[in-house]
């Protein structure tokens, strides 16, 4: 198929940064088989791309004027309303990454280079091995507030409940707040694992 036949969807709700576009270009160059498994979906009447606007942008930026037919698929049986819904659903990302699994099973890949948004990794060296609370207005204690997504809050609450049940002998440094002590123990164990 001629790439100039396909048209960018003017109503595409997803944008791509220059950095991610360059990563996508490298992905297509190094693993073109991906395009057969995840083809660009388009409306055969208007030739607007319904799914794969960023892939089309990367392909064009690579200078590809012709692509294999199996890199595209026509959405022939969708109503205009279904096409709009497809655009949304194709751009929704469900689920969360299991970073332990990624580290164990996909360590040979540069995940950031592939285009994944990786969390900032904090080294235990960034805060040392002592977990003394810094001096402040509530010496020797401090209150901390975090803004979390619902899914993050639920995960943290579950972890706190779990650590309270599994490890009742948590180091408290005199702190009587059981949630704070449980959170401290979770971070302490995480830091210990990161040094292994």
Q: Which residue has the higher pLDDT, 69 or 168?
A: 69
Q: What is the pLDDT of residue 119?
A: 61
- What letter would DSSP give residue 97? -
Q: How far apart are CA 150 and CA 71, in angstroms?
A: 38
The residue ranges of every structural domain in the chain are 3-98+107-114, 120-194
Does the pLDDT of residue 66 top 90, yes or no? yes
> What are the pLDDT digits (tens) for 119-158?
655 555 555 555 554 554 456 667 777 777 777 878 888 8
Q: Tens digits of per-residue pLDDT, 1-36?
A: 999 999 999 888 778 888 888 989 999 999 999 999
Is a pLDDT exceeding 70 seen at residue 45?
yes
Question: Among all chains, which residue has been given the structure tokens 């969807």?
Answer: 9
Q: What percent of the chain has pLDDT over 70?
A: 82
Is the pTM of the predicted complex or chain greater than 0.75? no
Spatial distance between the Cα atoms of 155 and 159, rounded to a whole number of angstroms: 6
Q: 49 near 8, Cβ under 8 Å?
A: yes
């Amino acid at each position: 198929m001629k790439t100039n036949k396909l048209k960018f969807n003017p109503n595409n709700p997803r944008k791509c940064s220059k950095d991610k576009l360059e990563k996508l270009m490298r992905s297509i160059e190094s693993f073109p088989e991906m395009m057969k498994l995840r083809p660009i979906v388009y409306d055969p009447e208007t030739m607007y791309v319904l799914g794969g606007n960023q892939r089309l942008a990367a392909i064009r930026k690579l200078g590809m004027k012709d692509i294999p037919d199996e890199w595209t698929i026509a959405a022939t049986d969708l109503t205009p309303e279904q096409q709009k819904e497809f655009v949304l659903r194709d751009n929704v990302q469900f689920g969360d990454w299991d970073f332990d699994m990624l580290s164990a099973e996909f360590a040979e890949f540069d995940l950031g280079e592939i285009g994944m948004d990786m969390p900032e990794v904090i080294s235990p060296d960034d805060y040392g091995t002592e977990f003394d609370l810094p001096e402040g207005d509530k010496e020797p204690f401090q209150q901390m507030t975090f803004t979390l997504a619902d899914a993050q809050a639920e995960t943290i609450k579950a972890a706190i409940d779990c650590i309270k049940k599994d490890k009742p002998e948590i180091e408290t440094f005199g702190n009587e707040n059981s949630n704070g002590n449980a959170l401290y123990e979770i971070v302490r164990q995480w830091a210990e694992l990161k040094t292994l």
